Amino acid sequence: MAAITSDNHGLRLAARYAVLVLIAVIFIFPLIFMLMSSLKPDQQLLTDTESLRAFLPVGDISLDNYFAAFRRAPVGLFVFNSVLVTGLTVLLSLVVCSLAAFAFVFVDWRGRELVLTLILATLIVPFETIAIPLLLISANLPWIGLEGVTRGWLNSYQVQIVPFVADGLTIFLFVQYFKDLPGELIEAARVEGASWWQIYRRVVMPLAGPVLATAAILKFLAMYNQYLWPLMVVQQERYRPVMVGLQYFFQLNRAWGEIMAYLSLITVPVLAFYLFLQRAFIASIASTGVKG
Amino acid sequence: MARVSLSGIKKNYGGVEIIKGVDIDIADGEFTVFVGPSGCGKSTLLRMIAGLEDISDGTLTIGERVVNDLPPKDRSIAMVFQSYAIFPHMTVRENLAFGLTIANAPKAEKDAKVAEAARILQMEHLLERRPSQLSGGQRQRVAIGRAIVRKPGVFLFDEPLSNLDAALRVDMRMELSKLHADLGATMIYVTHDQVEAMTLADKIVVLNAGIVQQVGSPLELYHRPANIFVAGFIGSPKMNFLKVRVEAVDATSVTVGSADIGKLVLPRANATAKVGDEVTIGMRPHHLTVGGAQDITGRVVLVERLGNETLAAVVLGSGQQIIAALPGDIDVAPGQELHLATQADRASLFLANGLAA
Ligand SMILES: Nc1ncnc2c1ncn2[C@@H]1O[C@H](COP(=O)(O)OP(=O)(O)O)[C@@H](O)[C@H]1O
Ligand SMILES: [Mg+2]
């Protein structure tokens, strides 16, 4: 009996791995295609797509496309801009949205249900509908910088960051997670004398690893992929992010090899971020025993 | 160390009165247990004392101060929760020291107090572990330890043993008694388990539907329940209740009778019952004996053998059922006719309004 059960178990495990491997392959093939193509001249790249050679480093392999990409566009600047904007937005959004959710879940105040409902209602408003009003507002906002008070946020980093710091989805994620935390933990902290801020800092946030990771990933992807908004508000190359930078490669002659090289380069921060988060995520689950 | 006094305490949840005017005085160092069925408002009352719920009406005094509007941390209380509520991301040491850390206490003081609490609860070897590496009983200890560290005037416990298995519960019960004796602190303990209440309490407060039913020592409640609710709630198996009629009343006794029990003369001075009243007699299963002069006759329908005693369910002529707790493994079987007697001086009598006569 025992042998049969354990055989079954082994088979089930094998089947599970087979499915996981299949899914992983499906997801990784476009990436391999991108990476391999970035090493090939355009002519070969296009003919290779007719066979499995598209996924293999064969033929005339070189880094020429990368050099060409750097010559055509300030790739480093674009990546820096995107990483800066995305990183700051993710950080600020985790702080602001978790604080908001904390107030909605743990602090008792008049009208919190109504305000939360309004915030959640923004989830169904597509960005395109508010883009123009937001543009008009941004164009007139004051800013205190090194040059004193200026008016108008167009062509800046803050115009790409501030509008996206607080959003309904992130607040919703935190609210749901906080609601599932045992209420007696919060009460125990109150009885022990913790202030709201101390409860947030010392009890709630250390237990929020899983939702922090989830919210960070979603925010990172949304911000890194920003296209429409920076196209509208940033005309100067100085502040341009990676996705808008892609335009440099869609000129009269499409340089597919360079496009692939550019895409490979701008994928690096995403992978780095993901690996970092995965480690942090596992560490947080291991240390708290709280599962997401 | 502190006395606690509740006066006219009420609690409303959205117009519904959950606690309906509670007056209790708890002396310094007393172990008081709030007991009552689930949903009667015990936790709400305790949480009002803790400061986790607003007090809708009345006055709450801890020590010499009215604390109605003080936050929990200023009430000189510590609380142990049913779920233990120890912080999963902190080691046992950090959990114990949490209140002191919050208050920015110096490290030397923290270490000393944590060491003392750990010694009292015999968990020095667990200090560097995380809660996920502890058993239920050990987590319970951490929760109690966290309360001890801050040396509160009043300890509050909300059903702290209900998540433990039966054997551990008995052990922890004894430890809590010992802890109370050692610390000499005021303790208020909430439970729905009357055995816990009987074994732990100096003073029991029986609650039902947000109203205090009776306050007294465990034996007072057992022997002289103030009303039919307390009589039924305290004691296991439950007290037997039978409908009877008052046949005679004089200065020192009340005579009641019915087809089931015949005539029974209960010693009662200044009884409030009047001749002809329909009343309820209460007889504890352990006060019923086989044979004897007075005769309660019925048919055995169920026998439960516990080894040290035998519980027999007996259906009387009128169809009412009573339980008798008989000594040892006495020879009874379902279907058999049984003649029982009760001790008249230990029986209780309740008027139609439920109050003891
Ligand atoms: N936050 C609340 N809102 C509304 N009703 C509540 C709330 N908390 C408790 N109650 C009600 O108050 C009553 C007493 O609850 P509780 O004090 O928890 O009972 P116990 O601890 O004795 O089981 C219950 O009927 C419960 O439904
Ligand atoms: Mg309760």
**Residue from B10, B12, B18 to probe ligand 1 pocket by mutation (most atoms less than 8 Å from CB):** B18
φ/ψ bin of B159: left (φ > 0), alpha (ψ from -120 to 50), beta (otherwise): left
| CA gap B80, B71 in Å, rounded | 17
Cβ-based neighbours of B308, under 8 Å, separated by 6 or more: B328
Q: Does A8 touch chain B if contact means CB atoms closer than 8 Å?
A: no
Contacts of B86 in chain A (CB under 8 A): 188
pLDDT digits (tens, 9 = 90+) for A102-118: 999 999 899 999 999 99
pLDDT digits (tens, 9 = 90+) for B54-96: 999 999 999 999 999 999 999 999 999 999 999 999 999 999 9
Closest partner CB to A193 (pick from B82, B89, B103): B103
The answer to whether the CB of A143 falls within 8 A of the CB of A153 is: yes
| CA gap B28, A32 in Å, rounded | 75
- What are the φ and ψ backbone dihedral angles of B15, each rounded to 5 degrees? 85, -15
pLDDT digits (tens, 9 = 90+) for A247-282: 999 887 788 999 999 999 999 999 999 888 888 777
Q: Where are the beta strands (DSSP E) in A95-254?
A: 142-145, 148-151
Residue type, A289: G
- Both B253 and B173 in one domain: the answer is no
pLDDT digits (tens, 9 = 90+) for B4-39: 999 999 999 988 999 999 999 999 999 999 999 999
- Both B246 and B328 in one domain: the answer is yes
Burial of B103 (0-12, 13-18, 19+ CB in 10 A): middle
Tokens of A178: 């906080």
Count of domains observed in chain B: 2
- Both B221 and B261 in one domain: the answer is no
- The ligand minimizing its distance to the Cα of B82 is 2
The atom of ligand 1 lying closest to the CA of B37 is 22
Q: What is the CATH number of the domain that holds B108?
A: 3.40.50.300
Residue A10 scores a pLDDT above 90: no
Q: Is there a domain that residue B56 lies in?
A: yes
- Both B132 and B205 in one domain: the answer is yes
Q: Does A197 touch chain B if contact means CB atoms closer than 8 Å?
A: no
| Residue A1 confidence (pLDDT) | 43
Tokens of A218: 């979603």
pLDDT digits (tens, 9 = 90+) for A175-200: 999 999 999 999 999 999 999 999 99
Q: Is there a domain that residue B170 lies in?
A: yes
pLDDT digits (tens, 9 = 90+) for B204-262: 999 999 999 999 999 999 999 999 999 999 999 999 999 999 999 998 999 999 999 88
**Cα angle for residues B90, B93, B99 (degrees, 5° grid):** 80
Residue A289 scores a pLDDT above 70: no
pLDDT class of A286 with cuts at 50, 70, 90: low
From B233, B255, B278, give the residue that closes a domain. B233
Tokens of A202: 């010392």
Residue A290 scores a pLDDT above 80: no
From B233, B267, B300, give the residue that closes a domain. B233
Q: What is the CATH number of the domain that holds B276?
A: 2.40.50.140
ipTM of predicted complex? 0.86
| CA gap A63, B58 in Å, rounded | 81
CA of B43 to the centre of ligand 1 (A): 7
CA of B20 to the centre of ligand 1 (A): 13
Distance from CA of A239 to the nearest CA of B (A): 41
| Helices then strands, each counted (H, E), chain B | 8, 20
Q: Which of B2, B105, B29, B82 is nearest to A193 (CA)?
A: B105
Check if CATH label 1.10.10.10 holds for domain A74-289: no
- Both B262 and B342 in one domain: the answer is yes
What residue segments make up the domains of chain A, in order of their start?
A: 1-62, 74-289
- Both B196 and B261 in one domain: the answer is no
- Both B186 and B244 in one domain: the answer is no
Q: Is there a domain that residue B357 lies in?
A: no
**Which protein residues have a CB closer than 5 Å to ligand 2 (ion)?**
B 43
Inter-chain CB proximity A191 and B130 less than 8 Å = no
In this structure, the residues whose C-beta lies within 6 A of any atom of ligand 1 are B 13, 18, 36, 38-44
pTM: 0.85
3-class state of residue B213 by DSSP: strand
Residue A87 scores a pLDDT above 90: yes
Contacts of B153 in chain A (CB under 8 A): none
CA of B8 to the centre of ligand 1 (A): 18
